[in-house]
Amino acid sequence: MTSFTLTDVPPMGGRTVVITGANSGIGRVAASVLAERGARVVLAVRNQDKGLAAAATMAGHTEVRRLDLADLSSVREFAHAFTEPIDLLINNAGLSLPPLERTADGFELQFGTNHLGHFALTNLLLPQVRGRVVTVGSLAHLIGSIDFTDLNWQRRSYRAYPAYGQSKLANVLFAHELQKRLAAAGSPVISTAAHPGIATTNLMNADGRGLRFRAEKALMSRVSHTAEAGALPTLYAATADVPGDAYIGPDRLLGLRGAPAPARRAARGRDADTARRLWDVSEQLTGTTFPFNSQHH
């Protein structure tokens, strides 16, 4: 197992990094560390003021660009304006457990933001990516299932936890299938995934007044680790010598905390048929496709 810490992140001079949701939590820590190591870091954020405030606290070369993952026109605009090479794309932004809301394109907010927005962004930016794509998943993928009959909660009565689990399982399946497609296309780019364990970030500041919510929050704060520790798996998946399709998470307390190491992925997070089917459906829903031809006919 590793003892990887923030100081183990290698020099990043001359590299361009794009991180979604980089104005808070683990995304902010990752952005700050990579900028400090010499990377040019682009904070892709929904709220530019918050992005600028976060960037102002970071040493090194940072830029803030607007990206609303819950609006495919914003995703296209961001990708269209990004013409230079990208060494590292970190799909970090995520939201958890909101009441039922829909994206600008009518998707359930968690599935639309956490998965479909990143799916479209990655496919649109891939021609410029020359290093790796890191997708941030969650332990919640372990309770997730993909309901192809009702991906966007139009028929079922909405439940925030299962919807979150579905969106995070989609992240893990996406990273897995992306690696398969990159390899088949003979691309040197690799796809990896990471999860932070339980980190004290504003994902946990979700509002809830019920007794169960308060009890869970109290328990979470006992076992959680800092955003700095939560960012380590992402940074490891982004910069360490790992193979494509690596999945990295904390190594202690069932993955809740600890040093980054290869993590347990649910069997359904590696299911080839589900991954391929989800990819096809995601292409239809977003109107984006994998930009390279496979070398296997």
- Rounded to whole angstroms, what are the CA distances from 31 to 42, 91, 130? 8, 12, 19
Residues 228 and 191: their CA atoms lie apart, in Å, by: 23
Residues 256 and 203: their CA atoms lie apart, in Å, by: 15
Closest among 250, 187, 196, 269 to 227, alpha carbons compared: 196
Q: Is 164 a catalytic residue?
A: yes
Q: Which of 158, 161, 164, 247 is catalytic?
A: 164
Active site residues: 164
